[in-house]
Amino acid sequence: MTGNNHHPQLNAATAPPPPPQVHPSRRLPDFLLSVNLKYVKLGYHYLISNLFTLLLIPLMFIIIIEATQTNPNDIKQLWIHLQYNLVSIIIFSTVLVFGSTVYFMTRKRPVFLVDYSCYKAPDNLKVPFKTFVEHSRQMDGFLETSLEFQKKILERSGLGDDTYAPEAMHFIPPKPSMQAAREEAEMVMFGALDNLFANTGLKPKDIGILVVNCSLFNPTPSLSAMIVNKYKLRGNVLSFNLGGMGCSAGVIAVDLAKDLLQVHRNTYAVVVSTENITQNWYFGNRKSMLIPNCLFRVGGAAVLLSNKWGDKRRAKYKLVHVVRTHRGADDKSFRCVYQEQDDEGNTGVSLSKDLMAIAGMSLKTNITTLGPLVLPFSEQLLFFASLVFKKVFSKKNIKTYIPDFKLAFDHFCIHAGGRAVIDELEKNLQLSPLHVEASRMTLHRFGNTSSSSIWYELAYIEAKGRVRRGNNVWQIAFGSGFKCNSAVWQALRNVKPSANTPWEDCIDKYPVPVVS
C-alpha cells in the first residue's frame, strides 16, 4: 500500500550533501546588517568631511620636527635680515591693515532672528468638520456632488477639528465684505505683533523696516500702511507690501528684509506673513476651486530680524541662506495655482492636477542650488559621481543619487499646504516621520495658514524642546507662480518657546495619529 507518508529511499552515494550548519550565534541578523551598513556610511562621511584635517595632522608633526632641528643661528640671521628691511615691513603692514579694514567694512552683516510670534484665533472661530459640512449644506449654490467632494477632501486632508475660519464665514448665509476682510487682517496682524512686542520689549518707533505679505487681499491703503497707522511707526520707516506671491511669500519677505538689513545698519526689520480668507471663499461647484475651501484657515506670524551685534546674545537664530526658485517662465507652472472666475462668475483659486509634479520639479531645482551650500562634501561627491556614471554609461534607468539632507539639517519645516505635499517631500527627501511631525501636526491643528505655516512648525519644534545650539533648520515653502523657496537658520542657543505660543495649551496632546 502506498500512502501520503511514504517517501522513496535515496541512495547514500547519489544523495546531495547536507547544507553546512551555521551555529545560531554566528548568523548575522538583518537588522545588524543594516546597522553595519549605516555605520559604514557614517564612517565614509566622517572620513571625507575631515579629510583635510586628517592630512594636516601628519604635516604639522613634520613641521614641528623640522623646527626643533633648526639651527638657532639661522633664526638669528633671519631677524637681522628683517631689521634691515623696514620699508618692506611697513608696506606689508599697511596693505594688511588696509585690506582688513576694507573687508570688515564691506562684508555682509549677519541677520539675527530675535523672536517671532504666531497668531492664535479665539475658540469661537473654530470650525470642526461637522460644522463645516452643515454650513456648506445650508449655503445657496452648492450642488450635492460638490458637498460630497468637500467632505471627502476634508476626511483625507489631515486637518483636525480645531482649525479656525474667519468670523464672516460663521454666519448663515456668510457675510463676506471689505470691512469683514479688514477686520480679519487687523485681528491676525495686530494680534501677532502685540505678542511680539510684549515678548521682545521692542518699541514700534525702533522699527526701521517693515515687510508685509498677503497674497489675496490687497486693499488701499495697504496692509503695511494699516500697521504703520496702528502702531504710529516713524515717518522714515521703509515699508513694503507683497501681494499675489502665494504660500512661499514668507521666505521672499525674509529675503527682502535681509537685503535691506545689509544696506541699512543698526536697525530692526519686522516681517508679517498672513493670508486673508474672508473675501476669498469659493461659492461655486468647480472641484479644482473647492479644494482651497477645505484647506485654508486663519493664521499669521510676525518675525523680528536685527543686524545689531548686540542682539546676538538674545537672538534665537542666525539666517544662513535663502534660496529662491521661480518656474514662472513655464506655462503649466504659471497656471497650476490660478485665481480666476468659473462659468457662473464665482471667483476662486484653481489648483491644477499637475500641481504635485510641478512642485517636485521646483523642489529639484531648488535643492540643486541649495545642496552645494549646505551638504557635506561627502554627499556632494556621491551626487556628482552618480551623475557622471549615468552620463558616461548612458544608463537612463539608473536613478540619480538623492543627497541625504538629514546630514545638513536637524529640523525640517515643510509648508503645511496639504497632506499630499508633506507625503511627497517625506518620500523624495527620505525623511523619517519625526522629521515631518511638525508639518503634519501644524496642518492638523491650524490647517494651511499659507506663508505663516513654516513659523507654526518652528514653534512646534521649540515647544517640544528639540532645538539645541548649533542646530540647522530648513524652512521650505511652495507658492503660486510657481515658486519653491528655502530659508536656512542656525540656532544660536538652546531655544526655549516664547510666551503665549499657539501650542502652549495643547503641545502635550501632540503628536496625534492622522488618518491616512
The tens digit of pLDDT for each residue in 476-496 reads 999 999 999 999 999 999 999
Of the chain, the percentage scoring pLDDT greater than 90 comes to 70
In the chain, the N- to C-terminal Cα span, in Å, equals: 59
Please give the average per-residue pLDDT across 253-276, as a whole number.
96
* The pLDDT of residue 86: 63
Residue from 423, 409, 414 nearest 484 by CA = 414
- 343 compared with 381, residue with greater pLDDT: 343
Cell, residue 482? 510657481
List, in order, residues 6 or more apart from 304 with CB less than 8 Å away.
113, 114, 115, 116, 196, 200, 202, 268, 269, 270
Across-strand partners of 477? 485
* The pLDDT of residue 141: 83
Contact between 486 and 254 under an 8 Å Cβ cutoff? The reply is no
Residue 158 pLDDT level (bands cut at 50, 70, 90): very high
pTM given for the model = 0.82
* The pLDDT of residue 397: 65
- CATH of the domain spanning 112-373+405-492, picked from 3.40.47.10, 3.30.450.40, 3.40.50.1100, 3.40.50.300: 3.40.47.10
Angle at 363 between CA 34 and CA 336, to 5 degrees: 135
Average the pLDDT over each of 12-16, 332-336, 368-372 and give the range with the smallest value: 12-16
Contact between 261 and 310 under an 8 Å Cβ cutoff? The reply is no
pLDDT per position as a tens digit, 120-143: 999 999 999 999 999 999 888 899
Q: What residues act catalytically? A: 247, 326, 411, 415, 444, 448
* The pLDDT of residue 385: 80
181 pLDDT above the threshold of 90: yes
- 306 compared with 34, residue with greater pLDDT: 306
Alpha carbons 457 and 374: distance in angstroms, whole number:
21
Helical (H) or strand (E) element with 319: strand 317-326
Name the residue ranges covered by the structural domains of the chain. 112-373+405-492
* The pLDDT of residue 482: 95
- 207 compared with 74, residue with greater pLDDT: 207
Of the chain, the percentage scoring pLDDT greater than 70 comes to 80
pLDDT per position as a tens digit, 14-68: 444 554 444 444 444 444 344 444 445 555 555 555 656 666 677 676 766 665 6
**C-alpha count within 13 angstroms, C-beta hemisphere, residue 142:** 23
Residue 291 pLDDT level (bands cut at 50, 70, 90): very high
Q: Using DSSP bridges, classify how beta strands 337-341 and 411-414 pair: parallel, antiparallel or unpaired.
A: unpaired
pLDDT per position as a tens digit, 335-368: 999 999 999 999 999 999 999 999 999 998 999 8
Amino acid at 502: P
Residue from 31, 54, 298, 13 nearest 181 by CA = 298
pLDDT per position as a tens digit, 189-233: 999 999 999 999 999 999 999 999 999 999 999 999 999 999 999
Residue from 189, 181, 174 nearest 276 by CA = 181
- Cell numbers 487687523 correspond to what residue? 186
85 pLDDT above the threshold of 80: no
| Longest Cα separation, the chain | 118
Cell, residue 178? 471689505
Cell, residue 495? 531655544
Across-strand partners of 337? 351
Strands (E), 70-228: 112-118, 207-213
Amino acid at 251: V
10 pLDDT above the threshold of 60: no
pLDDT per position as a tens digit, 400-437: 677 889 999 999 999 999 999 999 999 989 999 999 99
Cell, residue 16? 546531495
325 pLDDT above the threshold of 80: yes
* The pLDDT of residue 27: 45
* The pLDDT of residue 146: 94
Chain centre distance of CA 406: 13
Please give the average per-residue pLDDT across 242-248, as a whole number.
95
- Round the CA-based radius of gyration of the chain to a whole number and report it: 30
243 pLDDT above the threshold of 80: yes
Strands (E), 230-374: 238-242, 268-274, 300-306, 317-326, 337-341, 347-351
274 pLDDT above the threshold of 70: yes
